[in-house]
């Protein structure tokens, strides 16, 4: 009997992690710490700073705008890229992730918040969100995601 397994390079380029986060103000910090460990372990420290900012903003949004737990998922994509997604129980897709919403309100200069998801859209290579209806397991809410990876200016090869 012949056994086929992926080569070491194929296996290391194909991974995903999920982290269940309680509705707790420490959730963004725990998500950042976990993200740094995952990226370091998979040889992607060069995208850690940007990934940490984007992950923190997505998890903070879930904490501030939902009343229950959230799930962070980190997934490797081809070309040393990363997809970060965060699920929470609130089905409302916030601007700017809701591309069908009315024009965005301006944020007052002295405001303490309201810029996080705009940062995600600015620094991510791709981003989006979609509502999740009730499914077989009673899950609903929304999923916000973003993707990032190395750029030629980072000194990393892009596939």
Give pLDDT, residue 150: 81
Radius of gyration of the chain measured on its C-alpha atoms:
17
Mean pLDDT along residues 93-116 = 60
Residue 109 scores a pLDDT above 60: no
pLDDT band at 138 (very low <50, low <70, confident <90, very high): low
Contact 155, 47 (CB under 8 A): no
Please report the domains of the chain, with CATH numbers, ordered by start residue. Answer: 17-99+112-154 (3.30.565.10)
Long-range contact set of residues 40-46: C-beta below 8 Å, sequence gap at least 24: 42/12, 42/15, 42/76, 43/12, 44/80, 44/82, 46/150, 46/154, 46/155, 46/156
pLDDT in tens, 49-86: 999 999 999 999 999 999 999 999 999 999 999 999 99
Residue 152 scores a pLDDT above 60: no
Residue 19 scores a pLDDT above 80: yes
Residue 26 scores a pLDDT above 70: yes
Task: For residue 96, say if its preceding peptide bond is cis, omega within 30 degrees of 0.
Answer: yes
Identify any residues that bridge with 19 across adjacent strands, giving them in sequence order: 72
Contact 120, 114 (CB under 8 A): no
Half-sphere exposure of 48 (CA within 13 A, CB side): 16
Mean pLDDT along residues 33-43 = 96
Signed CA dihedral, 15, 32, 65, 112: sign only? negative
Reported pTM: 0.78
At how many degrees (to 10) do helices 116-123 and 48-65 cross?
A: 150
């Amino acid at each position: 009997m012949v056994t086929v397994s992926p080569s070491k390079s194929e296996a290391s380029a194909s991974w995903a992690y999920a982290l269940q986060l309680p509705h707790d103000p420490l959730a963004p910090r725990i998500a950042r710490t976990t993200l740094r460990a995952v990226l370091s372990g998979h040889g992607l420290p060069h995208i850690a700073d940007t990934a940490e900012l984007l992950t923190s903003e997505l998890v903070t949004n879930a904490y501030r705008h939902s009343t229950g737990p959230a799930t962070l998922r980190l997934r490797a994509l081809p070309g040393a890229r990363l997809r970060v997604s965060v699920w929470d129980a609130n089905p409302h897709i916030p601007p700017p992730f809701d591309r069908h919403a009315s024009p965005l309100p301006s944020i007052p200069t002295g405001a303490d918040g309201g810029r996080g998801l705009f940062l995600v859209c600015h620094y991510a290579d791709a981003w989006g969100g979609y509502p999740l209806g009730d499914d077989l397991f009673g899950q609903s809410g929304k999923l916000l995601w973003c993707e990032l990876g190395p750029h030629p200016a980072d000194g990393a090869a892009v596939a």
